[in-house]
């Protein structure tokens, strides 16, 4: 870092960090974001009330139950035949009772299949939002923590960013970049728009979506 | 919309005063502004990256977070699950009645009035029990799922299963 004429010149290291951050973001956009979008779309589609996955799960549960109880009914008929009770009330009511049991089993199996699809839907949404939370914390944390970071810490973060590049997000370079920015910003006055507040219009972004109108902060109105 | 994921952010390779090539973002407002001024400072690139990351989060992930929150706080999810479970059970019993008739007919058998009455009673009882059981199962599973999203680490505790 060099100084001169009252202005702080950026170092080649800071420029390199910025370039790596941009390139990592572009790489993330090109390779990982489409995959994540595809996954998120499949999760939403599978969780729909009449999705293919749901119908398939329910149908499989019904077929499995029908197959199991069909074999049981065959054995019941065979037993009645060999014991000379074919056509007796015992045999006929046994058969109707077996069909009743089959319906009970099938209904509960279909309910369980629906529940399993709902579990998968929620798990999938959790996975998608976990990806988003990682990105969000990077974006917010980058600005909040950057001012306190020293040049040495920035270098350490850059090393970590390169290590993390093999990970899922490909965004660690941005954090390292923000750290580099923090190093620079600690030496120069804060600039408009970089103080942690959103530009005009940003405050109008409504992120909440509580369906039952549950009020989490009455004083704030949300 | 601007940013990496909005499709309008542009990064250019431009030389600095010393002739070195640097990636240079065209700075555009995060929420619709279009400041076309450019800067080749790392400082501005970091700022734009941070804005783009936030915009990416809002665009690509917030809708799914809202879906999750909507499910967790839905006042109809439990009822819908119970209705679906009840429909599954009753449909199974309706089909079972027809299947029983076909199987008896295939064996050349018919139920006497007394046998029919006994069968109807037992089947009706089984249907009611299965219906209630399926609805309870669906309700508990849905409530547990909602509680889990809301952060309850032990959503299947009995005392909590009835909370909706």
Q: Is residue B163 part of a domain?
A: no
Q: What is the CA radius of gyration of chain B?
A: 31
Q: Is residue B159 part of a domain?
A: no
Domain boundary among B60, B91, B110: B60
- Read off the pTM: 0.66
C-alpha distance from A156 to closest chain B C-alpha (Å)? 17
pLDDT at B40 over 70: no
What is residue B28's predicted lDDT score, i.e. its pLDDT? 44
Task: Write out pLDDT tens, residues B144-158.
Answer: 999 999 888 777 655
Helices A89-146 + B77-106 axis angle, to 10: 150
pLDDT at B99 over 50: yes
User: Is the dihedral angle over the CA atoms A136, A138, A142, A144 positive or is it negative?
Assistant: positive
Domain identity same for B55 and B80: no
Task: From residue A101, give the alpha-carbon distance in Å to each of A106, A120, A213.
Answer: 8, 28, 43
Q: Is residue B20 part of a domain?
A: yes
Q: Is residue B13 part of a domain?
A: yes
User: Distance between alpha carbon A208 and the CA centroid of its chain, in Å?
Assistant: 17
CB < 8 Å from A in window 106-135 of B: 107-109, 111-112, 114-115, 118-119, 122-123, 126-127, 129-131, 133-134
Closest Cβ opposite residue A174 in set B29, B53, B112: B53
Return the ∠ at Cα B85 (arms to A114 and A211), rounded to 5°: 75
Residues lower than pLDDT 50 in chain A: 1-4, 137-206
Instruction: Return contacts of A52-57, CB within 8 angstroms, 24+ apart.
Output: A53/A117, A53/A120, A54/A113, A54/A114, A54/A117, A57/A113, A57/A114, A57/A116, A57/A117
Query: CB-based burial of residue A186 (10 Å sphere; 0-12 exposed, 13-18 middle, 19+ buried)?
Result: middle
Number of domains in chain B: 2
Minimal CA–CA distance to B112: which of A67, A115, A8, A96?
A: A96
Domain boundary among B60, B93, B109: B60
Q: Does A20 touch chain B (CB under 8 A)?
A: no
Strands (E), chain A: 2-4, 7-9
Q: Which of A216-220, B57-61, B114-118 has the highest mean pLDDT?
A: B114-118
Q: Which residue of B has its CA nearest to A18?
A: B42
By residue range, what is the domain housing residue B10? Answer: 2-60
Task: Write out pLDDT tens, residues A158-200.
Answer: 334 333 332 333 343 344 444 444 434 444 444 443 334 444 4
Q: Is residue B162 part of a domain?
A: no
**Which residues, at least 6 apart from B63, have a Cβ–Cβ distance to it below 8 Å?**
none
Residues of chain A contacting residue B85, judged by C-beta atoms under 8 Å apart: 107, 110-111, 114
Q: pLDDT class for B134, splitting at 50, 70, 90?
A: very high
Query: CB-based burial of residue B131 (10 Å sphere; 0-12 exposed, 13-18 middle, 19+ buried)?
Result: buried
How far apart (Å, rounded) are the C-alpha atoms in residues B49 and A207?
21
Q: Is residue B65 part of a domain?
A: no
Q: Are B137 and A112 in contact (CB under 8 A)?
A: yes
User: Distance between alpha carbon B44 and the CA centroid of its chain, in Å?
Assistant: 38
ipTM score of complex: 0.71
Domain boundary among B12, B32, B60: B60
Q: Is B62 in contact with A96 (Cβ distance < 8 A)?
A: no
Domain identity same for B131 and B89: yes
User: Max alpha carbon distance in chain A (Å)?
Assistant: 111
Q: Is residue B44 part of a domain?
A: yes
Q: Are A113 and A55 in contact (CB under 8 A)?
A: no
Residues of chain B contacting residue A135, judged by C-beta atoms under 8 Å apart: 53, 56-57, 61
Domain identity same for B136 and B85: yes
Closest Cβ opposite residue A138 in set B11, B53, B137: B53
Closest Cβ opposite residue A194 in set B47, B68, B142: B47
Q: Is residue B47 part of a domain?
A: yes
Q: Are A174 and A25 in contact (CB under 8 A)?
A: yes
């Amino acid at each position: 870092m060099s100084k001169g004429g009252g202005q702080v010149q950026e170092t080649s290291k800071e420029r390199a960090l910025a370039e790596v951050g941009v390139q990592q973001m572009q790489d993330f956009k090109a390779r990982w974001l489409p995959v994540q979008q595809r996954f998120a779309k499949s999760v939403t589609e599978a969780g729909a009330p009449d999705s293919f996955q749901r119908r398939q799960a329910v149908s499989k549960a019904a077929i499995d139950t029908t197959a199991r109880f069909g074999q049981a009914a065959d054995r019941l008929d065979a037993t009645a035949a060999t014991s000379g009770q074919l056509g007796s009330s015992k045999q006929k009511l046994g058969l109707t009772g077996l069909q009743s049991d089959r319906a009970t089993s099938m209904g509960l199996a279909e309910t369980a299949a629906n529940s399993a699809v709902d579990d998968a839907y929620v798990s999938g949404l959790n996975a998608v939002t976990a990806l988003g939370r990682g990105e969000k914390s990077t974006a917010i944390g980058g600005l909040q923590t950057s001012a306190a970071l020293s040049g040495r810490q920035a270098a350490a973060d850059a090393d970590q960013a390169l290590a993390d590049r093999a990970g899922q997000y490909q965004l660690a370079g941005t954090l390292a970049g923000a750290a580099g920015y923090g190093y620079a910003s600690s030496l120069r006055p804060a600039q408009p728009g970089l103080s942690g507040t959103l530009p005009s219009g940003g405050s109008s972004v409504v992120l909440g979506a509580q369906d039952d109108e549950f009020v989490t902060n009455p004083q704030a109105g949300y | 919309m601007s940013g990496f994921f909005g499709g309008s952010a542009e990064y250019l390779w431009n030389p600095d005063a010393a002739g070195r090539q640097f990636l240079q973002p065209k700075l555009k407002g995060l929420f619709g502004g279009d400041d076309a001024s450019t800067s080749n400072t790392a400082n501005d690139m970091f700022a734009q990256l941070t804005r783009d990351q936030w915009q990416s989060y809002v665009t690509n992930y917030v809708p799914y977070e809202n879906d999750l929150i909507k499910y967790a706080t839905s006042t109809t999810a439990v009822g819908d699950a119970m209705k679906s479970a009840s429909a599954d059970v009753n449909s199974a019993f309706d089909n079972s009645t027809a299947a029983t008739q076909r199987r008896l007919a295939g064996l050349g058998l018919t139920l006497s009035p007394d046998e029919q009455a006994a069968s109807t009673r037992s089947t009706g009882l089984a249907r009611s029990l299965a219906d209630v059981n399926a609805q309870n199962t669906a309700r508990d599973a849905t409530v547990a799922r909602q509680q889990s999203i809301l952060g309850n680490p032990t959503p299947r505790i009995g005392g909590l299963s009835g909370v909706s």
